[in-house]
Chains A and B, each alone.
Chain A
Amino acid sequence: MASTTAVAGFIANFHRLAFSKNNIMEHLQDFFVAFLSPMVLAFILGVIATSVKSDLKFPEELYTALTIYLLVAIGLKGGYKLSITSVADFWKPSVAAILIGVAIPIWSFWILRKGGKFDVVNAAAIAAHYGSVSAVTFAEAQAFHDNLKADLLTTTPSLTDAQLASLGATYEGFMPSLLTIMEVPGILVALLIARTSKEANILESTRGSTSEVLRELLAGKSTMLLVGCLVIGVLAGKRGWEQVSPFFDTPFRGILTLFLLEAGLVTGRRLGDLKKVGAFLIVFGIVMPVLHATLGIALGKFAGLSLGGATILGVLAASASYIAAPAAVRVALPESSPTYYLTASLAITFPFNIIIGLPLYHYIAMFIFGGSL
């Protein structure tokens, strides 16, 4: 935790330096409160519980129920926000999101093959995870920005919307649409790479055809819920959203906290595998998200997103899937080892992103958007 405090302190100093004249960011302790959110702390509790061999275990079906709730809530809210967004604002970020989703698995695969000496199947499996996105990391990123906004407003109630946007505390409401857009392409590209690779001759015996995998992906639970609820949100509009928001908006953070506790429990069990996966994958799981986030932020800026929106696109690029991708990979590349792809996405990249990544990407975004401050 020392390093996280250091990073947060670094940002605090940056804010002081950048805004000392405006006296906007006087009390950055609030920033720490936002950053040490119940969600992140619940995750850490989960890891601790596993490490002390606690009997804490979620009931079998709760994990599935929490996932469904989160995906539906993200989809509905994103759909409603999309319904009040003009196409002109939306199309460029969408193209950027697709580009990122397609490109990440390509170079991830190459790096894993050449640098990490992974075989084709495992390299493709890991690439699929990094090409896709994590809805929970995304939700954490939104929470981070909402808390940042709340803290800024507590400190300086007179801040205007434009000032909040320039501080990166607000983001475009249609971000969940980008999450939805980015979920599938990365996995598809990675699976396609594995299928076309000559070295993976074991795949010749594959009975699952490409169309079958495509169906698995598109009809899979997470795509179904995200895309489906996004459409529902668009169609139902504001009135529809107001009817369900007491259930899907207000309790969202609480449910997210429960989910992260569960995520911590599973991550804790995976920590033991860190020794097995080797130093390369650990470095990969930390360095690649930072590079991907920087790329996402830069492309986001180019596509006309606000500072906060670009940061969240960066978080999406940085995140690694652990709901959609493992399910797809288990079906399409069963020879690949969960020890590699799950440990990388769940035990390395996910905690890095929510604990260190979010404030770090926020800082990187401030840097990239420097001109507009």
Chain B
Amino acid sequence: MKTTTLKLVTIIAEDDIEARLVRDLKELGVKGYTIVNVRGEGLHGARDNAWEGENIRLETLVSSELADKLFEFLHSTYFPRYLMVVYMENVEVIRAEKFL
């Protein structure tokens, strides 16, 4: 089966900024995404209960160009103020036109 290489961009962020983050990503051209609630611990301590706040993990499949654009945008807009972990990886997908 013919596959296309796309970028899987993963963003781990505070659940409080989910709405704003999704809105910004859509404005930049992201077509779809998947969000799961996650718990974890890092430089700023544990974020693992609803009371003190939890994290979300947002995954989206995008073109390599859009992935770079997302990185630059997140770096300039969100990193200075919000706790965030962002990474991308190459993945093989079928029906790539769904995501581009």
Contacts and interface: CB of A to CB of B under 8 A. Distances in A.
Answer yes or no: do A and B interact: yes
A349 to B, nearest CB: 15
Interface in B52-72: 52-53
A326 interface: yes
A208 interface: yes
B49 A206 contact: no
Interface in B62-100: 77, 80-83
A326 B16 CA distance: 10
Interface residues of B, number: 16
Contact of A202 (B20, B80, B82): B80
B49 A334 contact: no
Contacts of B53: 326, 330, 338
Contacts of B16: 327, 330-331
Contact of B51 (A63, A205, A207, A335): A63
A270 to B, nearest CB: 8
B50 interface: yes
- Interface residue range, chain A: 20 to 34
Contact of A339 (B37, B45, B50): B45
B80 A63 contact: no
A342 interface: yes
A293 B80 CA distance: 38
A60 B50 CA distance: 7
A338 B49 CA distance: 13
B17 interface: yes
Nearest to A208: B20
A262 interface: yes
B77 A207 contact: yes
Nearest to A331: B16
A205 B17 contact: no
Contacts of A262: 51
A263 B50 CA distance: 11
A335 B81 contact: yes
A362 to B, nearest CB: 28
Contacts of B50: 60-61, 63-64
Contacts of A318: none
Interface in A12-66: 60-61, 63-64
B49 A266 contact: yes
Contacts of B51: 63, 262-263, 266, 322
Contacts of A208: 20
Given A322-B51, A338-B45, 12 more contacts: A63-B51, A207-B20, A207-B77, A208-B20, A262-B51, A263-B51, A266-B51, A266-B52, A326-B53, A327-B16, A330-B16, A334-B14
11 contacts: A60-B50, A63-B51, A202-B80, A205-B80, A207-B20, A262-B51, A266-B52, A322-B51, A330-B16, A330-B53, A334-B14
Interface of B: 14, 16-17, 20, 37, 45, 49-53, 77, 80-83
What 5 A-B pairs are tightest by C-beta distance, nearest first? A330-B16, A63-B50, A334-B81, A266-B51, A334-B82
